[in-house]
Chain A
Amino acid sequence: MEELPAADTDGVDQADRTDRADGADGADRVEGADGADQVDDVGTVIATRALTKRYRGGQLAVDGLDLTVPVGSVFGFLGPNGSGKTTTIRMLMGLIEPTSGTARVLGRPMPRSARAVLPHVGALIEGPALYGFLSGRDNLIRYDAADPTADPRTRRTRVATALDRVGLTAAAGKKAKAYSLGMKQRLGLAAALLQPRRLLVLDEPTNGLDPQGMREIRSLIRELASDGTTVFLSSHLLDEIEQVCTHAAVMAQGRLITQGAVAELAAGTRGRLVVTTPDTGDAARVLKEQGAGDVVITDDRVTAEPPERDLADVNAALVTAGVRVRGFGVERASLEDAFVALTGEGFDVAG
């Protein structure tokens, strides 16, 4: 929940930058952090309070969600399938009415302010959906025409730019039904990039892409984020979140388990000292003597909680004791470790 002070400053900087950019290109955007909203939502792009959705069948899909997405962050939204990610995104986009609680996007309540908010939001929700009988270009033209704030005079140029940005220019004239899943995914992304956006909501954006495509999309996301766009990225791929996100939230079974800066989340779980050696017995004894806890021997590896002292001394002690050390180091905790520590279960367990 708590932001590092550094992260906060960052957020404010980003907001300032965005606002100035707005002034410069003469575009009057929805003001996320102005006037009446400033009290509540300084530097937040998405803020939900006790957001809850119970479907008609009685199933509780989202349960009292308090989500805070800072301005300028690349926010990873993690959770196994069925954990309520998509329902949350649909509520944020005004597609689903919350049963209770509130959701504010760009400082305005959703779904009530959908008309004012959504032109500044690009979204990819549960995979792309296209008109198979239209070409890729005509699909984008149609989606652009649906936005009443989109200027028809610049439509073709903006469509061409968006196609170029996702590398689809060559296939723009092809009927969308002939597209591969990866191409559809790119076209969906292009639709989200038709206008300069303040927020991008991307639900599993690398789904169906080959490794090269994934890399391209991730670098595109970083590029957009460096322009000041806040990116809200849902994924079930932990390494994807670790690679591109500055912040993350973890959901399981409709509840928010944790949220915060990625570095903090991972830091919440301490790394482990790993010694690779053929003399595992001796190594374990020495590590215990040096104050390491929870010593575990697996094959030729001895792992332990690092003791509160200079690790160089620990290594020297091992060598002095005649332990033949092949490798010595601290394995940083990954987000996956953090997730397992938080939920006490594997990641792929559906709620």
Chain B
Amino acid sequence: MSRVEVDRMPQAEAVRPGSAIEGGRKVSPLWTFGLLRSELLTTFRRWRTLALLAVLAAVPILVGIAVKIETSDGGAAGPGGGGGGPAFISQITNNGLFLVFTALAATLPFFLPMAIGVIAGDAIAGEANAGTLRYLLVAPAGRSRLLLTKYATTMAFCLVATLVVALSALTVGALLFPLGDLTTISGTRISFAEGLGRALLIALVVAASLIGVAALGLFVSTLTNSGIAAMATTVGLLITVQILDQIPQLHALQPYFFSHYWLSFADLMRDPVYWDELVKNLGIQALYAAVFGSAAWARFTAKDVTA
């Protein structure tokens, strides 16, 4: 290739695809979302995805039944009305809506991020493992587009998984316990409708808390051609970070762990809402998404696809 051509190409690049779009073969910019639609359908039609969601849905059912059995003699749940068990557990018998908060608090440290780790870890590595990655890339899906689609799908899964937990908890709570006005952590009373609104808000914050793990998992997924290895690494990192978050000597580092502010969602049940840690949590998630998202992009767009 001559020097002249090298100089000319970028210009041609800029002009030709555009003319192709406006000219003969009409290409709608909306078609680019076909891949996202396909990805969502493919992900949510897999048995594995459905099994993960089923496990998540089972957690509130188990918690609800356990609380019901424990309190069937009329006593309050939890030893002495506090201390043990996940947040809000002692309030469930008064109001079924609290099962939503309890279930989210119970699944957020492990079950939810583990499920995200499986989906995110498998995102690129699973396709590479099956060999389907090369066919997606020659389709051509485009590396950045494929990565963005995978990340969007993982985030959609975060939201769906959280909503599955919340809805399952709400259903079980409504069936087993009374519903009605509720008392916030601050002691004020709010209506059931406002309580439902806060529950939804909490579910959204919990889903957003998983953004960091999703980005981390996606980055790990671009490093290997083995879906299993990527999933195991992501879940392993998750456990390691959770353990490190418990070691007092690492106090200085802990605010930078993606899981450090996870349980801050409980602050949404204060009146007025205490935003400080909620904002820190969302900030950390955005930081992780930016750092590991960029790393995944840098890695994936420069990678030789040999699988």
Contacts and interface: CB of A to CB of B under 8 A. Distances in A.
Contacts of B20: 28-30, 116
Given A97-B304, A109-B1, A22 B139 contact: no
23 contacts: A29-B25, A30-B16, A40-B2, A90-B304, A90-B305, A90-B306, A95-B134, A95-B306, A115-B17, A116-B13, A119-B140, A125-B138, A129-B130, A129-B134, A129-B135, A130-B130, A131-B130, A145-B38, A146-B139, A148-B142, A150-B34, A151-B28, A191-B135
Interface residues of B, number: 44
B16 A116 contact: yes
A102 B9 CA distance: 13
Nearest to A127: B131
Nearest to A23: B24
B134 A146 contact: no
A26 interface: yes
Given A30-B16, A152-B31, 14 more contacts: A40-B5, A90-B306, A93-B137, A97-B302, A112-B13, A113-B9, A114-B140, A114-B142, A118-B138, A119-B140, A129-B132, A131-B132, A133-B45, A151-B28
A27 interface: yes
B108 interface: no
B34 A152 contact: yes
Contacts of A191: 135
Report whether over half of chain B's contact residues are helix, strand or loop; otherwise say mixed. Answer: helix
Interface string B109-147: 000000000000000000000111011111111100110
A93 B38 contact: no
Contact of B306 (A96, A121, A129, A141): A96
A177 to B, nearest CB: 11
Contact of A109 (B9, B32, B46, B135): B9
Interface in A51-77: none
A149 B305 contact: no
Given A116-B16, A141-B38, A146-B35, A40 B1 contact: yes
B150 to A, nearest CB: 12
A109 B1 CA distance: 9
B136 A36 contact: no
B3 interface: no
Contacts of B27: 148-149
B141 to A, nearest CB: 4
B254 to A, nearest CB: 37
The winner among B46, B135, B137 for most chain A CB atoms within 10 A is B135
A69 to B, nearest CB: 17
Contacts of A29: 20, 25
A146 B45 CA distance: 18
B249 interface: no
B136 A146 contact: yes
Nearest to B133: A129
A28 B140 contact: no
B37 interface: yes
A134 B174 CA distance: 38
The winner among A28, A40, A127 for most chain B CB atoms within 10 A is A28
A142 interface: yes
A123 to B, nearest CB: 5
B23 interface: yes
Interface of B: 1-2, 5, 8-9, 12-13, 16-17, 19-20, 23-25, 27-28, 31-32, 34-35, 37-38, 42, 45-47, 130-132, 134-142, 145-146, 302, 304-306
Contacts of A150: 31, 34
A-B pairs, 8 with minimum CB distance: A129-B131, A28-B24, A146-B139, A118-B140, A145-B38, A146-B141, A145-B34, A28-B23
A47 B37 CA distance: 36
A147 interface: yes
B139 A143 contact: yes
Interface in A135-191: 141-152, 188, 191
Given A40-B5, A116-B17, A133 B46 contact: yes
A93 B145 contact: no
A115 B8 contact: no
A203 to B, nearest CB: 11
A28 B42 contact: no
B81 to A, nearest CB: 48
Given A36-B12, A116-B17, A133-B46, A143 B136 contact: yes
Contact of A102 (B1, B19, B142): B1
A94 interface: yes
Contacts of A129: 130-132, 134-135
B142 A115 contact: yes
B88 to A, nearest CB: 38
Contact of A93 (B42, B138, B306): B138
A265 B42 CA distance: 48
B136 A149 contact: no
A30 B15 CA distance: 12
